[in-house]
């Protein structure tokens, strides 16, 4: 039997299978633009990549890339970054577009399959950030024993790129906080080492008292 992410693994305990089926049902549910009568699946847009998880993850797996350059990319994403390394995210997002180009929009004109720079927007609507296509470049690799293998390398073709203001992209992740080295409670008083009257605070030490500061 061919392995599939649409079925629970044979080793999955029976009491954990309800969680699998609940997650599978959620992956089928489409997200909708708010406000709606339900708050369980609203909040789509104004920019997004797909309405459901399985729209990209075919049968729960990886999404296929387009074979021809005239087909727009749908079941895949184009990640962006600039040189550097971020301690939290690993990469530094591009300052204008963030860490990923969004190719879908809740704008009515886009839903009617309009595209390009001339898309007509109503007040408050946002156009997709870009259109992405893929061009494949074929090459050949030979092993030391002479066996030849055909390879291909994808090239991302970005068009209809819309200029945007520099902004901080917020994803569906919990807010991150800097962890300090001080436990909750009142601020500590300045520390001073007291000596005998007429003696320095510490033998052989001169200068002002030590005042710890928060980090």
**pLDDT tens for each residue of the chain, 215 residues long:** 455 778 888 899 999 999 999 988 888 888 888 777 777 778 888 899 888 998 888 888 888 899 999 999 999 899 999 988 877 768 888 989 988 999 999 888 888 876 666 677 888 888 899 999 999 999 999 999 999 999 999 999 999 888 775 544 444 333 333 333 344 444 444 444 344 444 444 444 444 444 444 44
Whether the upstream peptide bond of residue 166 has omega within 30° of 0, thus cis, is no
In a domain, 118, yes or no: yes
The pLDDT score that the predictor gives to residue 107 is 87
27 lies in some domain: no
Token pair belonging to 134? 């893929």
> Can you give the residue range of the structural domain that contains 86?
45-159
Rounded Cα–Cα distance for residues 13 and 25 (Å): 19
Please give the Cα distance from 188 to 3 (Å, whole number).
Answer: 59
**Beta strand 47-48 with 104-105: parallel, antiparallel or unpaired?**
antiparallel
Question: Is residue 126 one of the residues assigned to a domain?
Answer: yes
Burial class (CB in 10 A: 0-12, 13-18, 19+), 91: middle
Residue 77, domain member (yes or no): yes
Specify the pLDDT at position 200.
46
Assigned domain for 110 exists: yes
Q: Does residue 65 sit within a domain?
A: yes
Could you tell me if residue 87 is inside a domain?
A: yes
Number of folded domains in the chain?
1
Q: Please indicate, yes or no, if residue 213 is contained in any of the structural domains.
A: no
pLDDT for position 210: 46
Cis preceding-peptide flag for 35 (omega within 30 of 0):
yes
Note the pTM of the prediction, 2 decimals.
Answer: 0.65
Q: CB 167: neighbour CB atoms within 10 A?
A: 10
């Amino acid at each position: 039997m061919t392995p599939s992410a649409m079925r629970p693994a044979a080793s999955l305990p029976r009491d954990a299978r309800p969680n699998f089926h609940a997650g599978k049902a959620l992956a089928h549910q489409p997200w909708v633009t708010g406000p709606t009568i339900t708050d369980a699946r609203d909040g789509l847009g104004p920019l997004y990549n797909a309405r459901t998880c399985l729209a990209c993850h075919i049968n729960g797996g990886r999404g296929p890339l387009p074979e021809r350059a005239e087909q727009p990319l749908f079941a895949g994403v184009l990640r962006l970054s600039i040189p550097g390394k971020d301690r939290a995210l690993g990469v530094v997002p591009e300052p204008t577009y963030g860490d990923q180009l969004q190719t879908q929009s809740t704008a009515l004109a886009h839903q009617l399959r309009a595209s390009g720079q001339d898309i007509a927007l109503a007040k408050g609507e946002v156009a997709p950030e870009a259109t992405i296509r893929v061009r494949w470049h074929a090459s050949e690799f030979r092993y030391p024993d002479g066996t030849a293998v055909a390879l291909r390398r994808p090239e991302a073709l970005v068009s209809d790129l819309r200029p945007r203001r520099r902004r901080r992209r917020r994803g569906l992740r919990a807010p991150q906080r800097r962890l300090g080295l001080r436990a909750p409670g009142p601020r500590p008083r300045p520390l001073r080492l007291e000596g005998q009257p007429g003696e320095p605070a510490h033998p052989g030490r001169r200068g002002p008292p030590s005042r710890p500061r928060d980090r």
